[in-house]
Amino acid sequence: MVIIANIGKYFFLMIQVFSRPVNKKIFFKRFLQEIEQIGLNSIWIVAIVSIFMGAVLTLQVAINFENPLIPRYLIGLSARDTMILEFSSTIICLILAGKVGSNIASEIGTMKITEQIDALEIMGVNPANYLILPKILAALFTFPFLNLMSIILGIVGGLLIAVFTDVVSVFNYIYGLRYLFVPFYVTYSLIKICFFAVIITSISSFYGYYTEGGALEVGKSSTKAVVYSIIMILLFNLILTQLLLT
Amino acid sequence: MIEVVNVNKLFGDNHVLKDISTSFEPGKVSMIIGRSGSGKTVLLKCIIGLLIPDSGEIYFDKREFTKSNIKFKTQIRQELGMVFQGGALFTSSTVEENVRFPLDLFTNWSKSEKQKRVDFCLERVGIKNANKLYPTEISGGMQKRVAIARAIVLNPKYLCCDEPNSGLDPQTAILIDRLISEITKEYNITTIVNTHDMNSVMEIADSINFIFQGNNWWQGTKDDIFNTDNKELNDFVFASELCKKIKKETT
Ligand SMILES: Nc1ncnc2c1ncn2[C@@H]1O[C@H](COP(=O)(O)OP(=O)(O)O)[C@@H](O)[C@H]1O
Ligand SMILES: [Mg+2]
C-alpha cells in the first residue's frame, strides 16, 4: 500500500517537475550549476574507480585464462566488453547513486525542513521545477560522457597491466581490444546510463522533497534515496538488457 | 486588506482551525497570538496559500485566493512578502543574491537597477558590509533582517511574518519588531505577525487575534487586553509573575 502511494506521489511530483520554467535565464544558470555539481564533481571518483577496476579485471582474467588452448587476446576482449556492458554503466551508476543521490536528497531535504522550499513557492516559483528539473537534465547531459570516459579509462587501466606486468603482452591485449568489436554495445551502455541518470536524480529528489521533520529525517531520506535508486538501477538493468540484447 | 472567512483546516482527525473569520487592515500590524501548537502557523500558511483550507475563503483586497488558479496565485504572491520562522534564506546563495532573487524572477530591470534596489532594501533593514556573505556566516538576528529585506524587495502590499523574533535575544527582538512596524506604516502594508511573545505584542501590535484551541477566541487592541475578563486570554498573557505584577499595578 505504501509503495503504491509512493509511486503515485512520485509521478505527481514528476508532473510538476516537467513543466515550463518561469524564467529561462534563471533556469539556464541552475542547469550550469548542476552540471558542475552532478557531472564535473563526479569525474574524479569515476576516473579512479574505472582505472583500478580495468586493471584488476585484466589481471584476474589473465590469471584465470591459463589454459593454453584459450588465446591470450581474449583478455583484452573480455576487459573491453565487461567495461562497456556492465561496469561503465551499471556499476558506475551504483557508485554515483551513493555520491550524487545522497547529495541531492540531503540538499533538497534540508531545504524542505528549513522552509526554503515554502519560500520558493511563496515567491511564485514552482519549487519542484526550479530545483529538480535542472538536476535531471544535468545528469542526462553529463552521465553519457562519464560513461565513455569510464570505458576508455578502464581499458587504459588494463593496458597499464599489459605494459607493466607480463601476464599479457601489449600486442595481444590491443589485438583483443579490436577483436569482434560490437559498436552496438556502446549504444546499449549509453542508453542504460541515460535511464540510470533519470532514476538517480528523480528518486533522490523525490525522497528529499517529501522529507518532514528535522536533521535525522534528512539522513533517513538520504539513505532511502540511495537504497531505492540502487534497487531501481538493478531492476532497469535487467529489463533493458532483456529488451536490447536478446 | 486581507479577509479570512469561515476557514476550517483539518489534518486527519485533528481539527486545527475551527471556522476562523477575521480581517487584517493595511498600514497596521495585526498580530496572531496563542500558545505553541494552537494553529498560528497553520492559519498563516492557509492565508498565503501554502496550505489549502478544507473550507472557507481568503480574500486579498476582495480577490478570492484559495480557489483561484495558479496564474492568479502567482500574481498575488508577487504582492506578498513572507518572513518564515527560521528565515528560510537560500543557504547556497549570498545575502545579496537572496534579496535579489525575486527581482531576477519577476522584473526585467537592468543589473544596476536591481543592485540599487537590493542595496536600498538591505540598508533599510540595517545590514551593512554583509552583501557577499552566506546566510550561515551571519547571526540569527541578521538572518531575520535579510529575510525581511527579501520579503519587501518587490514592494509588497501584504507582509506575513511567522514568529519573526523567535530565537533572538530581547534587545534584537525588539529591533526586529520595530523594523516590521516601521515598514508597515511607511509603505501602508497589510502586515500579519504570528507570535507567542507578549513583549512584541506590547511593542508593536495595532490589532490582536488570540487563537485558542483552533478558535479565533478573542480580538481587540493592546489596551483591551488589560481590561478583558476573558479567562483563557488572561491565562496566556499574564502567565509570568512579571506580567501579573504589571497588570496589578496598571489596573
Ligand atoms: N503538516 C501538518 N500535518 C499534520 N499536522 C500538522 C501539520 N502542521 C501542523 N499540524 C498540527 O497543527 C497544530 C498547530 O500547529 P502550528 O500551527 O504549527 O502551531 P503554532 O501555533 O505553534 O504555530 C499542531 O497540533 C500540529 O501538530
Ligand atoms: Mg508556529
**What DSSP letter does each residue of A32-58 carry, written as one string?**
HHHIIIIIGGGHHHHHHHHHHHHHHHH
Chain A residues in contact with B89 by the CB 8 A cut-off are 116
For residue range B90-106, list pLDDT tens digits in order.
999 999 999 999 999 88
Is residue A43 situated within a structural domain?
Answer: yes
With respect to residue B59, please indicate whether it lies within any of the assigned structural domains. Answer: yes
CA distance A7 to B129: 48
Given B155, B183, B206, which residue is the final one in a domain?
Answer: B155
Judgement on whether residues B192 and B128 belong to the same structural domain of the protein: no
Quick one: what percent of chain B has pLDDT higher than 90? 68
pLDDT of residue B45: 94
Q: Which three cell numbers stand for residue A178?
A: 579490436
Residue contact B90–A119, C-beta within 8 A: yes
Q: Which domain holds residue A52?
A: 24-241
Ligand 1 atom closest to Cα of residue B51: 1
Q: Report percent pLDDT > 70 for chain B.
A: 100
Q: What is the chain A residue with the closest CA to B99?
A: A123
- For the segment A103-159, what is each residue's pLDDT rounded down to a tens digit? 999 999 999 999 999 999 998 889 999 999 999 999 999 999 999 999 999 999 999
pLDDT digits (tens, 9 = 90+) for A26-52: 899 999 999 999 999 999 999 999 999
Does the pLDDT value for residue B246 go beyond 80?
no
**Interchain pair A118, B89: CB under 8 A:** no
pTM to 2 decimals?
0.90
Contact B84 A118 (CB under 8 A): yes
Per-residue pLDDT at A93: 97
Q: What confidence score (pLDDT) does residue B227 get?
A: 84
What's the whole-number mean pLDDT along residues B166-176? 87
For residue B43, give the ligand nearest its CA: 1
Distance CA(A120)–CA(A132), nearest Å, equals 13
DSSP-H helix ranges across A65-182: 74-82, 92-96, 102-113, 116-122, 127-164, 170-178
In a domain, A16, yes or no: no
Mutation to test the B interface, candidates A116, A120, A212, A218, most B Cβ within 10 Å: A116
The pLDDT value recorded for residue B60 is 94
B218 and B203, same domain (yes or no): yes
Residue of B nearest to A21 (CA): B105
Structural domain count of chain A: 1
Nearest-atom index, ligand 1, CA of B194: 23
Query: Residue A230: is its pLDDT beyond 70?
Result: yes
Whether pLDDT at B166 is above 80: yes
Domain that holds residue B133: 88-155
Residues B82, A122: C-beta atoms closer than 8 Å: yes
Amino acid sitting at position B18: K
Residues B73 and B112 in one domain: no
Residue B113 grid coordinates? 537597477
Q: Is residue A72 part of a domain?
A: yes
| Amino acid identity at B120 | F
| Same domain as B57, residue B7 | yes
Give the domain-ending residue among B103, B128, B155.
B155
Q: For the domain that residue B65 is a member of, what is the CATH number?
A: 3.40.50.300
Q: How far does B191 lie from chain A, in Å, by closest CA?
A: 16
- CA atoms A59, A64, A66, A70: torsion sign: negative
The mean pLDDT of B196-214, rounded to a whole number, is: 91
If asked whether residues B74 and B58 sit together in one domain, one would say yes
How many C-alpha atoms does A22 have within 13 Å on its Cβ side?
A: 23
pLDDT at res. B238:
83
- For residue B188, the model assigns a pLDDT of 95
Atom 25 (ligand 1) nearest CA:
B37
**Whether B1 and B71 share a structural domain:** yes
For residues B133 and B201, membership in a common domain is answered with no
Whether residue B250 has pLDDT greater than 90: no
A96 within 8 A of A197, measured Cβ to Cβ = no
Residue whose CA is at the smallest distance from ligand 1 atom 19: B37
AA identity, residue B56: G
The span from the CA of B113 to the CA of B16, in Å, is 44
> Does an H or E element contain B218, and which?
strand B215-220
Q: Which residue has the cell 581474449?
A: A74
Residues B111, B9, single domain; the answer is: no
A156-197 tens-digit pLDDT: 999 999 999 988 999 999 999 999 999 999 999 999 999 999
Q: Nearest residue CA, atom 1 of ligand 1?
A: B11
B245 inside domain: no
Q: pLDDT at residue B243 above 80?
A: no
Give me ligand 1 centre to Cα B38, in Å: 8
Do the beta carbons of residue A84 and residue A154 sit within 8 Å?
no
* pLDDT tens, residue by residue, B104-140: 988 899 999 999 999 999 999 999 899 999 999 999 9
Q: pLDDT tens digit string along A212-229?
A: 999 999 999 999 999 999
The ligand 1 site (C-beta within 6 Å) comprises B 11, 14, 16, 34, 36-42
**Which grid coordinates belong to A139?**
545528469
Say if residue B167's pLDDT is above 90.
no
Radius of gyration for the alpha carbons in chain A, expressed in angstroms and rounded: 21
Whether residue B156 has pLDDT greater than 70: yes
Query: Is A38 within 8 Å of A138 (Cβ atoms)?
Result: yes
pLDDT for the residue numbered B226: 82
- In ligand 1, the atom with minimum distance to the C-alpha of B36 is 22
The distance of B105 to chain A (nearest Cα, Å) reads 6
pLDDT score for B251: 67
